[in-house]
Structure 1
């Protein structure tokens, strides 16, 4: 539903957010989970990151460029507050 609304032309061509699942989880694991010694990705930060990715990045930039998409995913996770919340908690 959200993908159809925010990325309608790509959606009509068959693109789905689920196509980024492996990339999203890989980036989370390598750039956040291991280095920050997290046991899991708290739902509030996961939802925030996906919302930012879907609303603020993917509709405005080229989703056919895998490197650009990886940068958007990283920026979305950063913007979710995950990292800053851990710094405050420490």
Structure 2
């Protein structure tokens, strides 16, 4: 991997990180997934944790609150579909 593309010392699985970035994921999301995979196994990532209702079942206020937690800009003027899209692609 070229030195300019090296994600940094906090990323534990450089190969998976770069694959996720190439797919268009954000740096933060790619690092989070790569580190989770390095802590267990790649096949186990995404199969653990609690359950949450689909974003379509959330209220607009709940979606805006979650968008605020993630620092998504422009959330106050977004409709429900735009909020869902922004949250899924953050």
Q: Which protein has greater RCO, CA pairs closer than 8 Å, 6+ apart?
A: 1
Larger Rg: 2
Query: TM-score higher than 0.5 here?
Result: no
TM-score, structure 1 normalization? 0.30
TM-score, structure 2 normalization? 0.30
